[in-house]
Amino acid sequence: MIPVPGFEDQRVAILGLGRSGLSAARALREGGAIPVCWDDNPAARDKAEAEGFAVADLSKPHALDGMATLVVSPGIPHLFPAPNPVVAHAWAAGVPVDNDIGLFFRALANSGWEEFDMLPRVVAVTGSNGKSTTSALLHHILKSSGRESQLAGNIGRGVLDIDPPGDGGVVVLELSSYQTDLARALTPDVAVFTNLSPDHLDRHGGYGGYFAAKRRLFAEGGPDRAVIGVDEDPGCFLANQLSEGPTDDRVIRISSGQKPHGPGWQVVARKGFLTEWRKGRQLAAIDLRPVRGLPGAHNHQNACAAYAAARALTVAPRQIETAFHSFQGLPHRSERVAESGGVSYVNDSKATNVDSAAKALLAFRNIRWICGGLQKEGGLEGLRDGLANVTKAYVIGRDAAGFALQLPDTETEVCTDMATAVSRAMAEARPGDTVLLAPAAASFDQYDNFEQRGIDFATRVRAALGQS
């Protein structure tokens, strides 16, 4: 646990008692604060009370009187589409609003650090797609090279639940826009921006607000090094803003598909090869094609991001290459769940938007594509390039027929449910085909989350193959 100092004998309000809220309450109490907790869910309140925390309805008048700060869980809106009433009350009462990420950065350094030969470092990874894989891959690289590393934030443990890092230890954080938008302190040593595509737009008041939430990690965080994906305009803009000139190696530009150019520090992946460039010279190269845990151009971009962050932490290229080959990938992200009769079965349930699904479609050939669900804004136009690899689409979801109508040039079958889609795709698959779940839609019309959807797919495939 990372104790949170600075609130000794002061009352601190905690709104939302999920993983981040409860860990914040524990860390604040460990630091000497008096947490006062609230959640609309009675079961969550009961759990907090069982741990000895005071519980009080923070929405009532004057409930925030005397509070030193209000700590808000990431799922609770604090501005768009409308602020939670408790947050609005905090504004009116002059109570600062923060989240567990802000508390973490305030609390991380401790008095024992002066005894260390090498100070601990924090790497924070954000972006629309690939941040989980990038974070997990970087953590794997560090562990494989003998470095102390902890994975936390949106993946792994809650940020305040981790152990205080030791001499030269690294904390790798995956941070969502919900987390970076509100945190009052953001001071990573290395910050990574993978890419940007439309997502969570209602929560941020539009695309510009979404980018602004991501940008805070760099503009307000002031990292020593920034790793920036420059395959889209937002990344190019951000890299330009952070750089003082062409040779400024505080910015490492990464790309999947572009040729390296200029004297700056660059890590690029083209035609299956990752190369590192600095001052116009190639320093290292890695063949990514045999790396089974990182299939496709989108994962090659993730490899570039993790490679660049690891190099910023002085990990040698050959150590990184060795770690690439032992990386198994993450569940529900281009996860190979089975192979049989020359057919591969891949679970990419995390492809909840069009951009991530399009990248999955470009990673494979002869695809039997299971898609559909709760569709997000913008339609399916962004899938156009990847559809050339689709042999047939098997559409699930409550509005499966409407989804299928948006694929006029692709053979489709309206299946509605996963059981039917898996059965039909497996019956029609031929050697060389890939049965791919990459929904291009959220899961909430039929599942609690994308993980549950991916598990359903994998379970049905394995059962049909007699592997359950």
Question: Residue 92: which CATH number?
Answer: 3.40.50.720
412 belongs to a structural domain: yes
Q: Residue 326, annotated ligand binder?
A: no
Higher per-residue pLDDT: 114 or 2: 2
Q: What is the dihedral of CA 70, 73, 74, 77, to 10 degrees?
A: -60
Instruction: Output the CA angle 219-221-227, nearest 5 degrees.
Output: 75
For residue 4, tell me if it sits in a domain. Answer: no
Q: Tell me what the mean pLDDT of segment 152-172 comes to.
A: 94
Q: Is 366 annotated as a binding residue?
A: no
The confidence score (pLDDT) of residue 418 equals 98
Contact 344, 336 (CB under 8 A): yes
CA 453 from centre of chain = 18
Are 254 and 172 within one domain? yes
Looking at the domain assignment, is residue 18 inside a domain?
A: yes
pLDDT over 90 for what percent of the chain? 89
Q: What is the pLDDT at residue 64? A: 97
For residues 56 and 187, membership in a common domain is answered with no
Q: What is the mean pLDDT of the chain?
A: 95
- Does a structural domain hold residue 94? yes
Q: Fill in the amino acid letter for 17.
A: L
- Phi/psi at 12 (nearest 5 deg)? -125, 125
Statement to judge: residues 82 and 220 lie in one domain: no
From 281, 301, 326, the end of a domain falls on 326
Residue 62: which region, alpha, beta or left (left: phi > 0; alpha: psi -120 to 50)? left
The CATH number assigned to the domain holding 199 equals 3.40.1190.10
At 441, list the tokens: 């839609």
Which among 86, 97, 79 is positioned nearest to 58, based on CA atoms? Answer: 86
Domain co-membership, 242 together with 123: yes
Look at residue 251 in the predicted model and tell me its pLDDT: 98
Span 327-341, mean pLDDT?
92
Q: Are residues 299 and 341 in the same domain?
A: no
Separation between Cα atoms, residue 139 and residue 288, nearest integer Å:
18
Question: With 90 as the cut, is the pLDDT of residue 199 above it?
Answer: no
pLDDT at 379: 87
When pLDDT is averaged across residues 331-341 and rounded to a whole number, the result is 93
> Residue 269 is encoded by which pair of tokens?
């992946």
Query: 360 near 298, Cβ under 8 Å?
Result: yes
* Helices and strands in the chain: count of H runs, count of E runs: 15, 20
Domain stops at, among 31, 64, 98: 98
pLDDT beyond 80 at 206: yes
Q: What is the pLDDT of residue 112?
A: 80
- Of 322, 398, 395, 362, nearest to 129 by C-alpha is 362
Domain count along the chain: 3
Strand order of the β-sheet with 97-98 is 54-55, 34-38, 11-15, 67-72, 97-98
Angle between helices 317-326 and 131-144 (to 10 degrees): 110
Whether residue 329 has pLDDT greater than 90: no
Q: Are residues 126 and 58 in the same domain?
A: no
Between β-strands 265-270 and 273-278, what pairing exists: parallel, antiparallel or unpaired? Answer: antiparallel
Same-domain pairing of 315 and 214: yes
Taking the C-alpha atoms of residue 349 and residue 298, their distance in angstroms, rounded to an integer, is 15
The annotation status of 132 as a binding-site residue, yes or no, is yes
Residue 295 belongs to a domain: yes
> Is the pLDDT at 330 greater than 90, yes or no?
no
Residue 122 tokens, joined: 């924090």
Residues of the chain by 3-state class (helix, strand, coil), percent to 5: 35, 20, 40
Q: What percent of the chain has pLDDT over 70?
A: 100
- Distance CA(72)–CA(81), nearest Å, equals 16
State the pTM of this model: 0.88
pLDDT tens per residue, range 46-77: 999 999 999 999 999 999 999 999 999 999 99
Residue after which a domain boundary falls, among 57, 75, 98: 98
Q: Are 291 and 327 in contact (CB under 8 A)?
A: yes
Convert 340-355 to b/e letters by CB count within 10 Å (16 or more is b): eeebbbbbbbbbbbbb
On the question of pLDDT at 9 being above 80, the answer is: yes
| Shared-domain flag, residues 381 and 317 | no
Rounded Cα–Cα distance for residues 125 and 193 (Å): 6
Whether residue 1 is contained in a domain is answered as no
Confidence of residue 165 (pLDDT cuts 50, 70, 90): very high
The pLDDT of residue 468 is above 80: no
How does pLDDT run across 83-134, given as a tens digit for each residue?
999 999 999 999 999 999 999 999 998 768 988 999 999 999 999 989 999 9
pLDDT, position 201: 87
Q: What is the pLDDT of residues 350-367, one digit of tens each?
A: 999 998 899 999 999 999
468, part of any domain? no
CA distance 155 to 22: 16
Clarify whether residues 426 and 339 are in a common domain. yes
DSSP 387: G
Looking up residue 398, the CATH number of its domain turns out to be 3.90.190.20
**Any binding-site annotation on 127?**
yes
Mean pLDDT for the stretch of residues 410-438: 98
Question: What residue numbers bound the domain in which 427 lies?
Answer: 335-463
Q: Cα separation of 22 and 275, whole Å?
A: 43
**Average pLDDT over every residue of 154-177:** 94
User: Would you say 103 and 27 are in contact if contact means Cβ atoms under 8 Å apart?
Assistant: yes
HEC sequence for 135-200: HHHHHHHHHHCCCCEEEEECCCECCCCCCCCCCCCEEEEECCHHHHHHCCCCCCCEEEECCCCCCC
My answer on whether 211 and 340 are in the same domain is no
Residue-level pLDDT at 220: 87
Establish whether 130 is an annotated binding residue.
yes
Strand 390-396 relative to strand 170-174: parallel, antiparallel, unpaired? unpaired
In a domain, 349, yes or no: yes
pLDDT for 31: 96
Q: Assess whether 148 and 293 both reside in one domain.
A: yes
- Asked if 127 and 67 sit in the same domain, the reply is no
Quick one: tokens of 247? 């040779």
